[in-house]
Structure 1
């Protein structure tokens, strides 16, 4: 008799990431789809899913069937997601971007009773890039930093959550908060750039899955660290790697870096 499959619930099942997750779960022999959820009134509600399931408008029943919920929805839906996971006692991977301080506070509270892994980007490559950026920023403390990101035209937030995560890594490498080093947009600037600050540029258009470039700019030389997402399925793969790792963990708040064996300070 084979090992029990890990049951995964997909929140945001009608979106790009949700569809990629459902497809990846169906192809993985060690995983089973516990259900899919979309907001009430979404066109995907009632749509067929593998295993005779349909996309539901309520997360609670899916949470009670799942070992892990994977959430790629909206910040507005996070409170209900946390409530459903907490009531069911299942683990939760949060890949939703655009979260504010109030959302992070809610995740911190939920992590007192369930295992939660929150990531602005679930790519393992980006996770490693973040560590490299932190290292480079700490060892090149006087160099300017510019972070450029490109995403498809339908993305809602700018700069991307990943770009901000990389900015936080750079600031952490310098022993400061991003807010203390972040620069205003350069468009229309009337004076020289603040030395050692962290700037951001957001590009939108087409169907780009996500490119991130971190430039460290010194005198007479520059260093570029970059990650290119060629296929959106890498984020689904990373999210499911996180779900496998998170299942059965004690309550607490975790990061993608924990999966690779290192964590941000």
Structure 2
């Protein structure tokens, strides 16, 4: 199966090149960068630091529907609409890992999924998606009496906060409890505040060094607390999950899919 990449020069783009190089069932067929990028015509293997490969990075404007069976997009919100519009125009299935999308962009994604198959997830690791199932179970048992806090840490370069994964954890918990995360989330505390409202879900964010990704859901009651934590030590975990999603998506009908569908998880 031929897999194409948007934004091959990004941090995740380079790791996806490595993941595809290690795959037995999918191969990298095209790797795009901006038309004015200095990486145009650079060998993808040299870009990813894995040795010379068979293809070079190509300008986005040269991309055609014949170049890939499925595209993967881990770029930035600023380019998301251009990429999704190209996929819709060319009836191209796409795996999207871009986080920090606005409400309008999420609506664009939903509209696109009426025409093409799309896997969209905040995190493509198996462990994180299992965590989403575990926090639901914890919320169903403890959520009505415990205080719930979500903490996350990422590298200094990450732009969106809280992370998409932290928000997905919060959404899973809120949904299980019948709450609206938009109204019950607390994203920062400072100075004197009244006693904590047990109905809220708190978020705390750390950005430092080269932390790949750490997420904890805390359920704290009087006398005991439960912590569910996932720690990633390599971006290759996310990249391999995205490649698996691309293989799964090939040949699917138009519609919105998630890693719950890809992994057949029971939530």
Asked if residue 232 in structure 1 is aligned to residue 235 in structure 2, the reply is yes
Deviates more, 1:85-94 or 1:32-41: 32-41
Give, in whole Å, the separation in 1 of the partners of 2:127 and 2:96.
Answer: 18
TM-score by length of 2: 0.92
Runs of 4+ in structure 1 over 4 Å off: none
Give, in whole Å, the separation in 1 of the partners of 2:266 and 2:256.
Answer: 12
Give, in whole Å, the separation in 2 of the partners of 1:86 and 1:53.
Answer: 25
SS of residue paired to 2:186: coil
Give, in whole Å, the separation in 2 of the partners of 1:152 and 1:184.
Answer: 19
Post-superposition Cα deviations, 1:194-232, rounded to whole Å, max 9, x if no partner, equal 113100010011111000011011111100000000111
Quote the residue 2:89 is aligned against.
Answer: 87
Give, in whole Å, the separation in 1 of the partners of 2:33 and 2:64.
Answer: 11
Post-superposition Cα deviations, 1:120-168, rounded to whole Å, max 9, x if no partner, equal 1111110110111122112222211111111010111111111011010
TM-score by length of 1: 0.93
Which one of 156, 159, 166 corresponds to residue 159 of structure 2?
Answer: 156
Indicate if the aligned counterparts of 1:46 and 1:55 stay in contact, CA closer than 8 A.
Answer: yes
Name the CA shift for 1:60/1:179 in 2 (closer, same or farther; >3 Å): farther
Give, in whole Å, the separation in 2 of the partners of 1:10 and 1:248.
Answer: 18
Deviation at 1:42, TM superposition (A): 3.0
Deviation at 1:179, TM superposition (A): 1.1
Which one of 189, 196, 199 corresponds to residue 199 of structure 2?
Answer: 196
Indicate if the aligned counterparts of 1:91 and 1:115 stay in contact, CA closer than 8 A.
Answer: yes
Give, in whole Å, the separation in 1 of the partners of 2:249 and 2:238.
Answer: 16
Task: State the number of aligned residues.
Answer: 259
Which one of 30, 33, 36 corresponds to residue 38 of structure 1?
Answer: 33
Give, in whole Å, the separation in 1 of the partners of 2:129 and 2:218.
Answer: 17
Deviation at 1:34, TM superposition (A): 1.7
SS of residue paired to 1:53: coil
The 5-angstrom pairing of residues 94-243 of structure 1 reads: 94-140=96-142, 141-243=144-246
Asked if residue 23 in structure 1 is aligned to residue 18 in structure 2, the reply is yes
> Please, what is the CA RMSD of the aligned residues?
1.6
Give, in whole Å, the separation in 1 of the partners of 2:8 and 2:259.
Answer: 22
Give, in whole Å, the separation in 1 of the partners of 2:150 and 2:123.
Answer: 15
Give, in whole Å, the separation in 2 of the partners of 1:180 and 1:64.
Answer: 45
Give, in whole Å, the separation in 1 of the partners of 2:215 and 2:5.
Answer: 26
SS of residue paired to 1:54: coil
In the alignment, structure 2 segments of 5+ residues that lack a partner are 46-52
